[in-house]
Structure 1
């Protein structure tokens, strides 16, 4: 009653002042941290820190914040708090030691608009996520790395890639489209049961949509959308490309699914789509086995299976062109172990320790997934001595692990010796986390490792790579959900056999 009387006594100006003050008080109360909550930079009311984050290289800005606020700190994106976990020791604590406490994904307006309901492989939670992840991993083994035929398919695709590079006839060219074609064709064979010609228009359209979507999902525009969804969904801007690209990709995948239905043989599944459709019939649409979720799971497999491996190979060209002495050592080792004409095999890996170390160092320095997927605290818990309330969004910073000064001898230098012992033998490093770790680690890690090794060895067995005279390729990169090199051109000179 007293509030009603107060409103009657206020004029319009007074009402605006009163409303603004009330909103600020509510905002303050909402943003007040519980005792022993992680510290962080000062933030603006309602806006948070979203406009403080450096848009071009956000992972570097967020890594440097740990120097001021420690390895567990909080920033605010709009009114939402996100705890960032930095450095190998604390990231391991969060996603390995306390893996069960950081399994689920938090709510995201952007994700919800693409993945209606609890769907997909990467953003689903609970029973649906567990069942779909197990199913996808099983099918990747069945149609992917566990089959000797998959190794042969990768080698065959390497020949298509080599032929495409040879057609450049010694002229400088952009290698990115060719690498995208080759890598995407591997996941196409697993998911759709077929490869595409590099000139296929629908295939090229899918790849363009994938690249644009991956960039925008990790850009400041995605942060703005998640921070202010009610406003951003009505505004023009690059963020709308996230949704238009996803719709185009879904339409292309849906067409492939319908094609599979026409000649589906329940007793002889050819690929992931066939296997999903068969399981859908068994499960009667339960646990995410429905047509719409099939499309979204395929979308996730393409994003993960195409973007990361292709970008790693792109960075491989950049770093080995910039370090010709390292490229020379790779050539020498391949010549000594395999020779110039024999087809590389995964079985060759133990005999190519230097080349294997180079591939791992490319992954470390290339830093393909600079941050990680958001996690959500399953309960009230302690992390790094700080109190993390149930439901808090937590982001493991993979950049801070791959460049941790306490784990790497020369963290900011391309140095294959990080993965070699004193005798030149390959050594594993615990802080090597390009595929993340714990229960949300990359489900296609085994396949990706096979692809990287076979594509890399095949390319450097066949070619010597260089760039324009006097040019050193830049290594700053373009950061989205994945990190890619700045545009560059190369020469691919066929090596003498």
Structure 2
């Protein structure tokens, strides 16, 4: 019989070897976690295999751990398959230590300060938007599957920032890169990854999870070739993209004891590619469902956009303060879409306490972000899509503390700033130029999602109508 450590959070009785896995739905465990929280409290424990994990529920509990006690809860588990694939390097899954701090600081500074003589982040997004608009206009009066459109657009924006170039959407190298990362993500969060993590004895067997290592190495090799090309063509001190910035950093630290090296660079680039693609493209697909289901909301956004733009050809990120309703709709799509419901798992960096419970060093911690995004005490309309969740009585945009789709604290999503800019600029441009409707041969889609580390809408087609006011 498995016994919890003294002072450990309570939870259901686990079975030998498999723990509580059979008590969680494989298709969507969020309702099971809610049920367990109602029984055991805001902090409870489970066993996934023979290893215990602690689940944090609700805004107050999550904020106390990840913000107030950030240094104690900002580690990453070292037993995940994806952690072994990346060897604990980069920023997403790296241990909470000097290398992670230096690389996160470097990445944030570089992304935030793209400009100053270089092509700004906003310019790169607007360039990709022109290709999105052209593709949509070619489908005027028709229907299309938005999945490839939004995924390739989000991928291209991050490629422009880190590789210095965008790809044509049908470029075979680009398609291979995207498909490889999609397959890798599916393997890294699927049932084979779970088997890898709870049954260490199986890790060296030729089972399907081995393909995840093969794909990652293949993508790394491609990225290394791009870095080699950059070395040949770069002008030191005049960076074109994040690779050049990193190579400049290597020059600066060549004679120092530094955590910067080419292996770290490759994994940092891939971390950024992953962080900047799936969640953003999935958020757009969730947003489109709500806009097609709620034509009144779509039209109100269009009117606000037209009033603010006043004939200008392109929006600016600075316009967001003048568009409170559009901002509210975008944020509500993130809240209601609940794209990353269980965040990226954390672990404790030392022996610590939380609300009277004892958590040993290395305890895996799962922040249930979904519980905060739908918490009844935090939202006016917690279980329905309603932009009023982000508007005060005067119609001004407000952001409640429970809004944490990117997580919170030191390990908040590295791509948050880029994602916010993409979501605003693309949404404004598309709602200004197009109306989106359900195709005549498709009923409105149930907004329920397919559960996963990235929770996504079911596949669908959308109808595209180019607005007459935008015709040249």
**3-state DSSP of counterpart to 1:292:** helix
- Cα gap change, 1:230 to 1:78, in 2 (>3 Å): same
| Range with bigger deviation, 208-217 or 102-111 | 208-217
Instruction: Using the TM superposition, name which of 142-151 and 208-217 deviates more.
Output: 142-151
Residue 476, structure 1, aligned to residue 448, structure 2: yes
Q: CA deviation at 1:144?
A: 6.8
- 1:283 is aligned to 2:246: no
Corresponding residue for residue 460 of structure 1: 431
1:254 CA drift (Å): 1.7
1:250 corresponds in structure 2 to 220
Q: Equivalents in 1 of 2:352, 2:71: separation in Å?
A: 12
In structure 2, C-alpha distance between the alignment counterparts of 1:351 and 1:142, rounded to whole Å = 24
Q: Which residue in the other structure is 1:304 paired with? A: 275
- The alpha carbon displacement at 1:102 in A equals 0.9
Could you tell me which of 336, 349, 352 is aligned with 1:378? 349
Structure 1 distance, partners of 2:201, 2:153, is 40
Q: What is the rounded CA distance, in whole Å, between the counterparts of 1:108 and 1:176 in structure 2?
A: 32
Judge which range, 439-448 or 396-405, deviates more. Answer: 439-448
**Correspondence for 2:10:** 39
Distance 1:74 1:344, change over 3 A: same
TM-score where L is the length of structure 1: 0.89
Q: How does 1:415-430 map to 2 (within 5 A)?
A: 415-430=386-401
Structure 2 match to 1:495: 467
Matched residue, 2:156: 185
Moved more, 263-272 or 138-147: 138-147
Partner of 1:197: 168
Number of residue pairs matched by the alignment: 466
Cross-structure match for 2:240: 270
Matching residue within 51, 55, 64 for 2:22: 51
The reply to whether residue 124 of structure 1 matches residue 97 of structure 2 is no
Once the two structures are superposed, what CA deviation does each residue of 1:66-99 show, in whole Å capped at 9, x if it has no partner? 1122111111111111101011110011101111
RMSD of aligned residue pairs (Cα, Å): 2.0
Per-residue CA distance 1:119-152 (angstroms, 9 max, x = gap)? 1111112111111111111111233799773212
Listed as ranges, the gaps of 5+ residues in structure 2 are none
Alignment of 1:334-345 (within 5 A): 334-339=305-310, 342-345=313-316
Quick one: distance in 2 between partners of 1:151 and 1:109? Answer: 35
Q: What SS class does the counterpart of residue 104 from structure 1 fall into?
A: coil
Q: How does 1:228-239 map to 2 (within 5 A)?
A: 228-234=199-205, 236-237=207-208, 239=209
Deviations 1:148-179 (A, max 9, x none): 73212212211110101122242221011111
Cα–Cα, structure 1 residues 316 and 389, in superposed 2: closer, same or farther, change >3 Å?
same
| Structure 2 SS opposite 1:47 | coil
1:296 deviation in Å? 0.9
Partners of 1:489 and 1:145 in 2: CA distance: 41
SS of the equivalent of 1:51 reads helix
d(CA) in 1 for partners of 2:425 and 2:263?
Answer: 34
**Which one of the candidate residues 54, 58, 67 is aligned to 2:38?**
67
CA deviations 1:17-76 (Å, max 9, x no partner) are xxxxxxxxxxx4xx4222221111121101112233212223343233211221111111
Is 1:431 matched with 2:414?
Answer: no
Q: Which runs of 5+ in 1 are unaligned?
A: 1-27
Residue from 61, 72, 78 that aligns with 1:90: 61
Counterpart-to-counterpart distance in 2, 1:51 and 1:231: 20
Deviation at 1:109, TM superposition (A): 4.4
Q: Does 1:101 align with 2:72?
A: yes
> Do the aligned partners of 2:82 and 2:188 also contact (CA within 8 Å) in 1?
no
- Deviation by residue 1:192-214 (Cα, 9 ceiling, x = unmatched): 11111111111111112222333
Q: Does 2:333 align with 1:362?
A: yes
Provide the residue aligned with 1:451 in structure 2: 422
- Pick the aligned partner of 1:403 from 374, 377, 387: 374
Cα deviation per residue 1:460-496 (whole Å; 9 max; x = unaligned)?
A: 1111001223611132222332122111101111011
**1-structure distance, mates of 2:429, 2:451:** 28
**Hey, what's the Cα distance between the residues in 2 that align with 1:410 and 1:145?**
43
Structure showing greater Rg: 1
SS at match of 1:492: strand
For residue 439 of structure 1, give the secondary structure of its aligned residue in structure 2.
coil
Stretch deviating more after TM superposition (142-151 or 474-483):
142-151
The answer to whether the Cα contact below 8 Å between 1:179 and 1:310 also exists between their aligned partners in 2 is: yes
Q: What residue in structure 1 maps to residue 138 of structure 2? A: 167
